[in-house]
Each structure stands twice: as structure tokens, then as C-alpha cells.
Chains A and B, each alone.
Chain A
């Protein structure tokens, strides 16, 4: 079945919940305004279940209601994982057998972003969610440049370390900083190195749209919830080729 509706407690009931704030004090008119917004968003009927004034001129609302939109799951476009998920052992073995040298990975947070939590989760030995980071893989040589690395520094280090892949993490998204930084980074690599010599460029962060790889000039985007093992498997897939 490719056509679906939201599910409250009965198939096809289309029920959703929504919360938001309007910049008005709480009164009857404010509640009407909240329902009007919900109606305009396609909720019909909309039930206002909670309204509470905050400070002088703001009210918080929770609305439940039915939407009539149909969703066709066949029409959804996503980046499906198009490479096999390997264990650490398989990653190491494949690199050893086919590349016959360690695969060099350089990682950094670029721009003013000081949040190393993403890059550290992927690179640090400690890893995330019980999965060890790339430092744990004996056949990966990892350079973690940390936070607030400038693009020229990154390019220089990638060159010096003969990086096969460059991993860039971007957490801060204010004013689209993550997109601007990524574009600046890919432009610099394109300028500095000819196509065949360029490392694989990968960005990751919780707010990237995985479909934007082409537009940003990177080889791959990894979104929220990515684990080190997925990244390692992708590196093997893209740089070494699979065993088959």
C-alpha cells in the first residue's frame, strides 16, 4: 500500500498534533486565531486542547486535528544506503587486501563552528552508541583536526596527509552557515587539486539534506544518526570497491 494518511487510533483517521506560539495575549480571539492557523494548515476539524499565556504578549497552543492529505510513499525521494554495511573486521580486511596501504582520512569542523561532537563521534576511538569511531579501524589512518579549522588549513593538511577522504562536520546552521562553509570547502578543493587527485569529500551534520550532495559539490552527505560503521563502509565502497 503506497497511499497512507496519519494514524491516530483508527486506520485512515488522519489525526495529527501540532504546537505553536502566537504573539498575542491569551483570550477567546487568540484561540480562534490558533484554530484558523490550524485550518489553513489543512487541519479540519481542528481541536484546540491547550492554550497558555507566556509573559505579556504570547500564547502557546496545542492543537489536535484531522488532515485530509494523502501521502504516496512511492513518490518519496531519499538517499537509500547503496553500499553494503561492513563490520570493522571486514573494513580492515578489504582495505588491506585491495588497497595494500592504510586509507588516510582527515576530519574537521570548518568555519566558526566549534561543535566537535559530530566529528568526534565519528572519528574518536570512543565512537557513538556503542560503535567505535574510525580511529579504532587499524587500516584507517585518521587525522582529526578538531574545531574551527580554516578551509586553507584543511586543504593543506589533506594534501600533506595524502588524504583519500576528507570528512567535514557542521552543526551550526544559523544563517545557513553549514551550506556556505561546505560550498567554500568544495570550491577550495576543486581549485587546489585536479579531479583525479581530489580526496573524497564528505560532509555530515544533523541539518543537512542528504539530497543536496551534487549542489554542494560533495561526494556524500551524512545526516542525523549516522554511525562510524556506516561511514567506514561507505569509504570502502567508494574508494576501494567491494569484495564481489
Chain B
């Protein structure tokens, strides 16, 4: 692959090797630890449903009960299914309810036969959950065959965020009719730090709508109707991030969501979630996404909102390489890697657009088979909506010129209001104009050999390799602790959710990871 940037394949290979070396210790950490949310995801796949009258899900109550009796280090599967056998119950949700009332005592069976029997039952129950995920994936494939994919690239990605799922639905359907190929329902601010997944259809959220299984189901059903109406499969996106990402990944798989925001480091850097908690939850959620045929969207765009987009360009490349490594390791294939990057260079900087093209093309050439997600300007959207609309036009043009795969539609009212109906319409008009007028311009766009764009791309890649070398030497956890990404300093022994992490005991058993290990 010489490509348009004439990247040295040896440098590219070296970068990938370094990313793997930097990531490996973190994978080992993830393989030797579990978290409350991983265990709750196991129970969700095993069929535990619903919540108590305070809205605390039964999976939380059950994991807490098991943990109080025997700790987390064995995994909850064996103690729970051993208790099912010894209590004679056949409904696992009922067991959770009894456990919450203090009527069940959990233990790890000492006799090998009993432990083996508990493992068998756990495997059977979670296998049922995974079968639902498999059926949903097959269903998606069928619907795509029936209705078809979007006719153009990039796919047009639009956000809805009213806080009320019943307002979101008509807005999402209207957005799809107006041309959106992918609908993302933004989550309520604050959900990432809830250590449980809310239940049921929700009508109140702040700057977004809660991710719940029922909300997923309602929105997917509505978009299925719209897909049929439009003769094009409209994809649905949500967020597998925050303290509950493993559970949300499982729910997304069971409700046929199509894409999930899922970044290896976002929670650490931007939500101050403990690094170990994040990496353990990450690996599990990616394994589930791999099985569910879900495309993940990584969050490199966020680094550029806090750090300078020129100075920090190489940290985006490093993070993309790490996200790729972690994704492959968890079983995701290239077509599932919606690696992120963004148009966030200060427009007052001379040559800002050429720099954007260099960065965007670098991502394209480094990851030729990945459905790259191209994120619009936010940091330099000032409230001057006229300038903002122009900036979004250049963003769209950069997307077309560099062959981006998923284009998140920029709003001229970014930083002013949550998008109005008319903002979305103006924004889509902008996208349509650029794609209709210049959608195939990438065929003609070949940067001059040795010119500004090639040189810039080479220097960013070079800086990325240097940074990866440093990360390999110091370890990724140290790099994160020292504020290498997005300038946030996040030590491994701090951050939210650390108390929900446990090291595996020797007899740790998790029927889901067993089934999902590549």
C-alpha cells in the first residue's frame, strides 16, 4: 500500500507492533480481573430482568449479595447457579429477589461435581442470552439485505437528544426521512457515572435520554418501521461507556443496536473512571460487540477538544492504533472499527484546512478497511452560526476528499442550543450540497508528492511512533497517569469505580468470556 501519502510501510508496521506491545500488559490486566459490571452483564445474559421498587436492577442486588458472601473473585456464575440448584428455584430473577431479601446464602461448592454442575447450568443460561444476540445479528443481516445500505459514503450520522424517548422517536424518524443513515441517541449527562442501568421507558433526562433496554427496544422498533418506509436500513447508535459498559453492550446486542460508542480510554480521561475498571469493562464489552456484529465508534475526537488539534494530532493516531489493537484482540474485525477523529483545528491558523486534510487522510490510509468516523468542529464553534455553517461545509468537504466512512453531521448551533429542527435541516442541506457536488472528488484528490500534506502526515506518524515508543518504555498506565492523552492526568489507583474491581481467584469462572474468547 503506497497510497496517496506515500507512507513508509515499515513505519506503519512498526507503529502497529508498538501499539500491540503497549497494549499487551493492559490486556493481561483485563484478563486477570473482573468487575461488578462484567458480572452483572453475565447475569443479564443469563436472564435476570427488572428492578426493585427503588429502580435498582435485580442484577445489582444479586451481584451485591454474592459479593457480600463470597466476594467477586470466583465470578458470580458458579455461586449463583449453585444456589439455583440448592434452593430448587428455576427462575433466576426470583433468586435475585430472594437474595436481595437476605433469604439466600451464597457459597462456592467445594465438591468438584457440584462446581461442574453449576458451571454447566451457568453456561446453558448465558448461552441462551448469547443465542438472542446471534438471532439479532442474523435479523440485522436479513433487514440489510431486504432494505439495503445507504447509497452513498460517508453515511450520514445524526444525533437526537430530547431526554424523552417518546419525543426522540418522532425526531429520529424525521431525521431518517431527511437523510440520516445512522441515528444516535445521546445519553443523559450523568449516566456514565451511574453504577446501574436504569429500567424501562424514560421521559426525563438531562441533555440526553437514558440508555435502557426498553428505550433501545422502542427506538429500534420505530426505526425498523422507518427503514421499511424508506427502503434503506437505518442504523441505531448508543453508548457502551461509563461504569456499566459491559451491561449496556449486552443489552445492545440483545436489542439489535447497530453501532456503539466504545473507546478504550474515554471513560478514564473524560469521566475520571478508574483505568483498571475501564480496561476490564472495555475488553468484555468489545467481545460482546464482536459477537453482536456491532460497529464500535471510538472517541479520539474528544482529545482534540481539550488539547490543541495540531500539537496533539499524533495522540489521535496513537489512540487509534491502540483502539485497533484492543479491538482486534477482543475479536472485532476491521469492518467493525469506527475509529474516530475530528475537524478541530483552530480555523484562524494559517493552512488549517490543509492540516485537517493531512490528518484525515493519514487516518484513512492507516486504516483502509475501517469505517472511520469523522467528527465535526465543536471547539471552535463560537455561537457565530454563519461562520459555523461555513466551517461545517469545509468539514463536510474534508470528509468527502479523504473518503471518510461515517460523517457526524455538524450543527451551526453547536455550543448554542441542542439542535433545533431547522438547525438539522440546514446542516443536512450543507452535507447534501457537498456530497452531491464533490462526493467523488477523492478520486481526483492526490496530494503532491513531497508536498505540505504528505509532509505533515509523515511527521504526525513519526511523532506517533515516538510517543508509542515512550509508552512501551513507561507503560500505558503511566502514560495515562501523566496526562499524555487529552492532558488529563489519571493515576491507576484513583478514579471512580475502583471498588468494583476484583482480581480473579484461581477458580474464576465466567461462561460468557469463555464463549467469547477468540
Contacts and interface: CB of A to CB of B under 8 A. Distances in A.
Given A55-B177, A126-B306, 17 more contacts: A19-B422, A20-B422, A21-B420, A54-B421, A54-B425, A55-B174, A58-B422, A60-B421, A60-B425, A112-B206, A114-B189, A114-B190, A114-B193, A115-B189, A126-B487, A148-B190, A224-B383
Interface string B376-396: 000000010000000000000
Contact of A147 (B207, B271, B420): B271
A116 interface: yes
B307 interface: yes
B101 to A, nearest CB: 30
Interface stretch (A32-40, A70-78, A89-97, A117-125): A117-125
A55 B487 contact: no
A116 B177 contact: no
B308 interface: yes
5 contacts: A60-B426, A112-B189, A117-B305, A175-B206, A224-B383
B439 interface: no
A55 B420 CA distance: 13
Contact-size category for A? 20 to 34
A203 to B, nearest CB: 17
Interface string B481-496: 0000001000000000
B207 A116 contact: no
Given A117-B305, A126-B308, A60 B422 contact: yes
B306 A147 contact: no
Interface string B419-444: 01110011000000000000000000
A55 B207 contact: no
Contacts of B307: 126
A112 B190 CA distance: 5
A147 B188 CA distance: 14
A113 interface: yes
Contacts of A147: 193, 271-272
B12 interface: no
B192 interface: yes
B488 to A, nearest CB: 8
A115 B163 CA distance: 17
Contacts of A116: 270
B27 interface: no
A98 interface: no
A170 to B, nearest CB: 11
Contacts of B415: 206
Contacts of A55: 174, 177-178, 421
Nearest to B307: A126
Interface of A is mostly: loop
Nearest to A125: B487
Given A54-B422, A113-B189, A146 B272 contact: yes
Contacts of B188: 112
A172 interface: yes
A177 B204 CA distance: 13
A116 B207 CA distance: 14
A10 interface: no
A172 B208 CA distance: 11
B425 A52 contact: yes
Nearest to B188: A112
Of A20, A126, A224, most buried by chain B (CB within 10 Å of CB) is: A126
Interface in A99-146: 112-117, 120, 124-126, 146
B207 A174 contact: yes
Contacts of A174: 163, 206-207
B305 A114 contact: no
5 tightest A-B CB contacts, nearest first: A112-B190, A54-B425, A114-B189, A60-B422, A21-B422
A126 B426 CA distance: 34
Contacts of A54: 178, 421-422, 425
B272 A124 contact: no
A58 to B, nearest CB: 6
A124 B193 CA distance: 22
Interface string B271-284: 11000000000000
Interface in B348-388: 383
Contact of A124 (B177, B383, B425, B487): B487
Of B189, B190, B192, B206, most buried by chain A (CB within 10 Å of CB) is: B189
Interface in B160-196: 163, 174, 177-178, 188-190, 192-193
B383 A172 contact: no
Interface string B287-326: 0000000000000000001111000000000000000000
A64 B512 CA distance: 63
A120 B272 CA distance: 13
B425 A117 contact: no
A117 B486 CA distance: 12
Contacts of B421: 21, 54-55, 58, 60
Contacts of B206: 112-113, 172, 174-175, 177
Nearest to B174: A55
A92 to B, nearest CB: 22
Contacts of A117: 305-306
Given A114-B192, A116-B270, A224-B383, A124 B306 contact: yes
B487 to A, nearest CB: 5
Contacts of A172: 189, 206-207
A112 B210 CA distance: 13
Nearest to A117: B305
A24 B193 CA distance: 41
A120 B188 CA distance: 21
A154 B486 CA distance: 24
A175 B163 CA distance: 11
Contacts of B383: 224
Contacts of A125: 487
Interface string A140-164: 0000001110000000000000000
